[in-house]
Chains A and B, each alone.
Chain A
Amino acid sequence: MFPRPRQLAAIALWAIALWPLLLLATHPVSPVTAVALADGAATALGNAALVAVGLGAGLLVAWPPFLPALQVRLQRWRLRARQDPARLDQALAHLQHLDTAAARADVAHWLLDAGRLRDAVPHLRRAIELAPEMVSARFQLGRTLRQLGDRDGAAATLRQVIAAEADHGFGVAALELARVEAEQALGGGEREAMAAALAALRRHEARSGPDREASLLQARLAARVGDRGAMRTALQAAAAPPPAGAHLAPDEALLRARARVALWTWGRA
């Protein structure tokens, strides 16, 4: 039977490790042979390193999430390059005359578009202060806090959104909250919290249909609570191909590629 890659690596490692000892043993008998053996080893190792670098680069490009991740990044760059900075300046100028919730939300919108999440947060907070009933600003704040890694703040804000408007964004707020709670549970590592988060994601899926990001989170939660069957089902849902003729957006393609890799790695029976 042909050895596996790790076994081949072990054989190669032992061969390389024994080589200097071979040189030490050869030198007293024939120094010229020792030098010839050292030269041969250096050439072989150099060639092997070149092949390894080439293979590594090839594998990286062939790695499913690599190209979608590149597309996502390119898309972000393109959007930022197309953005008109005058719009943000206008919104800021407007704010100097009249500090209203709508003006604050407008500034936050242009800042978020420019990728300046941290700068947008105080404007969103002020918009909520000025108009507590402005659910869209609250939702945007929750989403931004989640992107900034403040899960507790995001969860608290999104709960306020649900309390004010249970079906905000046709369930998008509920999904966002379920995602944050899932991330919190994964970070905390408590089994009950993970099971509850998993149930919340499933409820959302039953109500609003599958969502790749939520399915990936479901798979991670299921893996942590030890439910391999549920993990595989969630990964299969996240890795499902798009309907015939449909084109996946780069974000979706990246999530699908991640799910495919996870399915190969962890989803095998």
Chain B
Amino acid sequence: MIQALDRTPVSALVALAYVTLAFLTDPVAPTFVQLREHGALLPVEVADGTPWRLLSYAFLHDGALHLALNTLALLYFGPRLELSMGSLRFGVLYLLSALGGGLLVCLWNAPDETMVSGGSGALFGMAGATLALGMRAGPHPLQFLEQHHGRSLLGLIAVNLVLGFVFPMISNTCHVGGLFAGFAATWWLLTHPRGRPDRTHRLLQAGLLLLLASVTTYAIVPVARWDHLLLAWERSEEPARRLELRRAFSRSLGQDGLLPEAVLRQRAIVLRHKRTAE
């Protein structure tokens, strides 16, 4: 076991980070405040000056069971993937998958979505990467469907996505974001294409990097998102600008007309409450 982890230093390091960081909070049942203080993901917090949460959430866990399940999944997927793609690429994959999961949570920003923590977005990224490697390995991208491990991997992904829909405390948005990020990063950025990379391939790679940069920027400055507009409205002092922001806020909630100021104030209180305690 130790020898195996010695050959896969990044997996070992991430597992160690999971366990170590659990002790920053209560490892068995951490509170909302503890998790928020140590970097759990809340889209409104990311937009309000703490962009590092887009990565830090992937190392924090919401309790012992969450930690145990994710560490086991990491130790199952991580070493195999790290051995096949190399430690540096694996490290980049983990971070990109975590970022992908965090970005989709910020983009989606569902009203019922609370705080997100845990490495499962990145773990889904590893599943996406394994899928991409399997699709690259055969003579045809869909050839892996004919192999047992390809089908069982798809089944594993499907079952976990279904579980995400069944249990409301699981953030499927984060899982889907991580899955797509892991797949796309492995397919276009971290492995070589079958033939010589042509101009279209380079365009796709550049487009992917641009997408990552622009969506990250948008997650940090989400100019069309209701919570950001509400904060901007609260902080703005110029009446004309306040009116514009109020109109934009109303539109972002699907209202064609102008919502009364009282509604905005009430929403602001709810948002403040969501940021401070559950």
Give A residues with C-beta under 8 Å from B: 4, 6-7, 9-10, 13-14, 16-21, 23-24, 26-27, 30-32, 34-39, 60, 63, 65-66, 69, 223, 258, 261-262, 265-266
Contacts and interface: CB of A to CB of B under 8 A. Distances in A.
B146 A10 contact: no
Contacts of A18: 210, 214
Contact of B245 (A6, A23, A31, A36): A31
B64 interface: no
Contact of B247 (A7, A31, A39, A223): A31
A37 B139 CA distance: 42
Interface in B27-59: none
Nearest to A12: B207
B204 A13 contact: yes
B166 interface: no
B200 A34 contact: no
Interface string B234-260: 000000000011011001100000000
B215 interface: yes
Given A31-B248, A32-B244, A265-B139, A9 B215 contact: no
Contacts of A26: 223
A258 B146 CA distance: 9
B142 interface: yes
Given A24-B218, A69-B146, A10 B204 contact: yes
A35 B245 CA distance: 10
Given A9-B204, A10-B200, A13-B208, A35 B214 contact: no
B211 interface: yes
B223 A27 contact: yes
Contact of A261 (B140, B215, B218, B251): B140
Contacts of A21: 214, 217
Contacts of B217: 20-21, 24
Nearest to A223: B139
Nearest to B142: A63
Interface string B200-222: 11011001101101110110010
Given A10-B203, A13-B204, A31 B223 contact: yes
Contacts of A9: 204
Contacts of A23: 218, 223-224
A190 to B, nearest CB: 20
A10 B204 CA distance: 5
Contact of B229 (A13, A31, A63): A31
B228 to A, nearest CB: 9
B207 A13 contact: yes
Given A13-B204, A31-B224, A65-B145, 11 more contacts: A19-B214, A21-B217, A23-B223, A27-B223, A35-B224, A35-B229, A39-B252, A60-B145, A69-B145, A261-B140, A265-B140
A13 B200 contact: no
Contact of A20 (B208, B218, B251): B218
Interface of B: 139-140, 142-143, 145-146, 200-201, 203-204, 207-208, 210-211, 213-215, 217-218, 221, 223-225, 229, 244-245, 247-248, 251-252
Contacts of B229: 31, 35
Nearest to A26: B223
Contacts of B139: 223, 262, 265-266
Give me the 9 closest cross-chain CB pairs, A-B, nearest first: A31-B248, A38-B224, A20-B218, A27-B223, A13-B207, A17-B211, A17-B210, A10-B203, A20-B214
A37 B224 CA distance: 9
A26 B248 CA distance: 12
B200 A6 contact: yes
A32 B146 contact: no
B46 to A, nearest CB: 14
A23 B228 CA distance: 13
A4 B217 CA distance: 31
Contact of A24 (B145, B208, B221): B221
Given A24-B217, A24-B223, A10 B207 contact: yes
Contacts of B203: 7, 10, 14
14 contacts: A6-B201, A19-B214, A20-B215, A21-B217, A24-B223, A31-B229, A31-B247, A34-B224, A34-B248, A38-B224, A38-B225, A65-B146, A69-B146, A262-B140
B200 A7 contact: yes
A13 B208 CA distance: 7
A118 to B, nearest CB: 15
Most chain A beta-carbon neighbours within 10 Å: one of B201, B203, B213, B224: B224
A69 B211 CA distance: 38
A21 B218 CA distance: 8
B111 to A, nearest CB: 15
Contacts of A223: 139
Nearest to B202: A10
Identify the interface centre among B140, B145, B201: most chain A CB within 10 Å of its CB.
B140
B221 A36 contact: no
